[in-house]
Structure 1
Amino acid sequence: MAGLVLCEPTELYNILNQFNKCSRLAELNYLCLLDARTKSEYNESHIITAKRVLQNENGEYLCPTSVELESLKYCVVYDGNSDTLGKGTPAIDCARILEQRSRHPIRILKGGYEKFSACYYFFRTKKILWMPKEIEDFQPYPAEIIPGLLYMGNFRQACDPQIQKDLKIQAHVSVSEEPATFFSTESGRLYYIPLPDCTEFDLLFYLPAICNFIGSYLVSGLAVLVCSRFGISRSSSVVMAYFMYQYRWTLQAAWMHVQKCRNNMRPNRGFVKQLSDWEMQIHRVAITDISDPNY
C-alpha cells in the first residue's frame, strides 16, 4: 500500500495553484480533493473543486468511481480538523480505503478544513459542480514560498488587486520588462528592475539590494510578491538568491524548495551560473554542481 502522509495547508495551496498554459486542475490525473465531513458541512462550505466522499449503508467510505487512483498524482483528503496520522478520524478512515488502490501516498490535510479555510478563506466555496471550461479558466494565485510572507508569481498576478488583498501583499519585486505592477516605484513598495530573460544580463549585481528589500518587509511580517512576466525564470532566480542570502542555504537546497512550491520553475542557464557564483560569494566555495542535468 502507498501509505499516508500529512499535507500542510501551504502544500495544498500550491498544489491547487500549479499551472502551465492553464491550471493543472484541468488535468484528469492531477488532483483528487476529497471532503470527508458530513453532507451538511460540505454543502455549507468546502475547498474549491473538492468532492464529498460517499459512504455505504454501513458507514464505510467508498472510492470515487470517476477517479483512477492508480494514475493520480495527488489525492488529498480532509475532514474538520485532523492534524495527526495516529488516530481514527473521518479523513484517516477514508484514506485507509483509498491507499489500497493508489501508487502514491494519500495526503491528509493537516488541520483539516478549519485550518485551511482560516489561512485561505478565498478558496472556500459552496459550488459543487465544475464544468471543464470553468476549471481551465481558473486563475491560479502566486506560489507561496514562505507561508504568509513570500510569494512568487507572474505579471498578471502582480496586477490583480484581488490577489494583493487576499494574500495581504505589501510590496513587489518586479524583475521584468513589463511596466509597473499594482504598486508603483514612487510608493516605495515596488523594487523594479527592467530585466530581460536572457543569459547575458547581470542579475548578480542587483541581488544584494533585492535581498535587503525583501528582508526589510519580511522582518516586519509584511508579505512580498516577487514577479516576472511568466513567473518561471527571473522570479525563481531572485527567490532562490534570497534563501541563499538570508538563510545561508546552498543553491541545491533553495532550488529544491522553490521547485516544490512551483514545479515548473526554470531559471535560464545564465542565471543558474550567476546563482552558483552567488553561492560561492556566500559560502566561499561552490557547493552545488550545476553541471548536473537537474539544473
Structure 2
Amino acid sequence: MAQIKPCEPSELYNLLNRRGSRLAEINYLCLMDARETQDYRISHIITAKNAKTDSEGLFLLPEALEVDSMQHVVVYDSNTSSLQEESRAVLCARVLSGVSLSPVLVVIGGFQRFSALYHFLRTEKIMYTITELENLKQYPVEILSGLLYVGDEKQSADCSVLREMKISIIIALSQESLKGNQTVVNLPVDDSVDSDLYSSFERICDLIASHISSGSRVLIVSPRGRSRCSAVTIAFLMQHKKYTLQEAWSYVLRRKPDMRPNSGFLQQLSDWELHLTGGKVTDISKL
C-alpha cells in the first residue's frame, strides 16, 4: 500500500506545468476530484477526473486509468486541511493507495485554496484529446510561492501568462533583449561554459530580494528556461535562504526536474558557495 502524503497547492501547480507537455503522457499524472459530481461539473482543476462512488458512498477506482502505472497520483476535495480528517479526499486517497506504486498526495486546502491561488487553472472542460493536452498553456515553474518563478522566453512574451500570474518584473538572461509592459532587466549572457554569471550573482540576487521583500512577483527567464535561469535561481536561494549549493540544487530540482545549468555555471555556483560560506561544502561531481 502506497503512502498518503500532504501536498501543497504549489506542488500540484508545478506538476501541471512540467515542460514538454507531460500531461499528454498517459502515465504521468492521475488527478482526482473527490468532491460531489455537481461541484465538479461547475468547475474543477484542469485535467482532473471526478472520483466515482458506489451506492453506499464508497469511492471506486477510476475505470479509465491504470493507477498502478502512474508517476504521480493526486487527490483533492473542497477544503481538506489535514490527513487526520475523515474527508472525501482522504477517503478517496486510501482507495487509490491500495493499488498505487507512487505516494498518493492530498492537496491541503483543496479546491478552494488551489483555485484562489491559481484561478487560471480552473475549468469546466471534462474530456481532452491528446492534441489538446499537448497544446495546453504552460506557466512558469513556481520556486517561492507567490513570489519567484522560472520560465522560458516564450512564457515571458505571453501577455496573458504575465497578467494571470501578476508578474511585476522579468529578469532575462539572454543575448537578445526582451521588452514588455512589465519591468524587464536584461542581462546579456550566453549559455556557454565560458560565460561569466558569477560577477553578476550579487547584483541579481539583491535585485530579486528587493522585489520579493515588497511582495512583487519576479520571473527569471532564459531562452529555453533550463540553464542560465536555473543557475541564477540556485544562486539566489543560496544567498536568500542560506542554503548550501547541494540544498539549493535539490530544492530547484524538485520543482523543475528539467533544469540543466552547464558545467561552467556549476563551477561558478561552487565559487559562490565559497564566497557565501567561506568553504566549498558541496561536491559538485555528485550533482
Does 1:4 find its partner at 2:4? yes
Deviations 1:100-127 (A, max 9, x none): 1011111001000000000000011111
User: Which sections of structure 1, spanning at least 5 residues, go unmatched?
Assistant: none
Query: Which residue in the other structure is 1:83 paired with?
Result: 81
Distance 1:268 1:103 in 2: 33
Deviations 1:226-269 (A, max 9, x none): 00001100000000000111222101111111111111111000
Query: Which residue in the other structure is 1:97 paired with?
Result: 95
Query: Which residue in the other structure is 1:270 paired with?
Result: 264
Instruction: Decide whether the 8 Å contact of 1:171 with 1:183 is kept in 2.
Output: no
Query: Which residue in the other structure is 1:244 paired with?
Result: 238
Q: Please tell me the residue identity of whatever aligns with 1:27.
A: E
Query: Which residue in the other structure is 1:36 paired with?
Result: 34
Cα separation, partners in 2 of 1:32 and 1:181, compared to 1, 3 Å: farther
Question: After the TM superposition, which residues 111-260 of structure 1 pair with which residues of structure 2 at under 5 Å, given as runs?
Answer: 111-183=109-181, 189-260=183-254
Aligned-residue CA RMSD in angstroms? 1.0
Shift of 1:178: 2.8
Distance 1:252 1:167 in 2: 29
User: The residue matched to 1:85 in structure 2 has which SS?
Assistant: coil
User: The residue matched to 2:185 in structure 1 has which SS?
Assistant: strand
Query: Which residue in the other structure is 1:286 paired with?
Result: 280
Shift of 1:194: 1.4
Deviations 1:133-169 (A, max 9, x none): 0001112100000000000000000111111111111
User: Which sections of structure 2, spanning at least 5 residues, go unmatched?
Assistant: none
Shift of 1:8: 0.1
Runs of 4+ displaced beyond 2 Å: 181-184
TM-score (norm 1): 0.95
Shift of 1:223: 0.4
Instruction: Decide whether the 8 Å contact of 1:5 with 1:106 is kept in 2.
Output: yes
User: The residue matched to 2:246 in structure 1 has which SS?
Assistant: helix
Shift of 1:183: 4.6
Distance 2:115 2:100 in 1: 27
Instruction: Decide whether the 8 Å contact of 1:191 with 1:213 is kept in 2.
Output: no
Instruction: Decide whether the 8 Å contact of 2:177 with 2:186 is kept in 1.
Output: no
Distance 2:29 2:179 in 1: 31
Deviations 1:23-76 (A, max 9, x none): 110111100110011111001100000010111112111111221222211111
Distance 1:166 1:253 in 2: 30
Instruction: Decide whether the 8 Å contact of 1:80 with 1:114 is kept in 2.
Output: yes
Question: After the TM superposition, which residues 57-68 of structure 1 pair with which residues of structure 2 at under 5 Å, given as runs?
Answer: 57-68=55-66
Instruction: Decide whether the 8 Å contact of 1:51 with 1:128 is kept in 2.
Output: yes
Query: Which residue in the other structure is 2:16 paired with?
Result: 16
Cα separation, partners in 2 of 1:116 and 1:110, compared to 1, 3 Å: same
Identical-residue share of aligned pairs (%) = 42
User: The residue matched to 2:171 in structure 1 has which SS?
Assistant: strand
Q: Please tell me the residue identity of whatever aligns with 2:222.
A: S
Distance 1:31 1:6 in 2: 16
User: The residue matched to 1:101 in structure 2 has which SS?
Assistant: coil
Distance 2:181 2:273 in 1: 31
Instruction: Decide whether the 8 Å contact of 1:160 with 1:182 is kept in 2.
Output: no
Aligned residues: 287
Instruction: Decide whether the 8 Å contact of 1:75 with 1:106 is kept in 2.
Output: yes
TM-score (norm 2): 0.98
Q: Please tell me the residue identity of whatever aligns with 2:14.
A: N
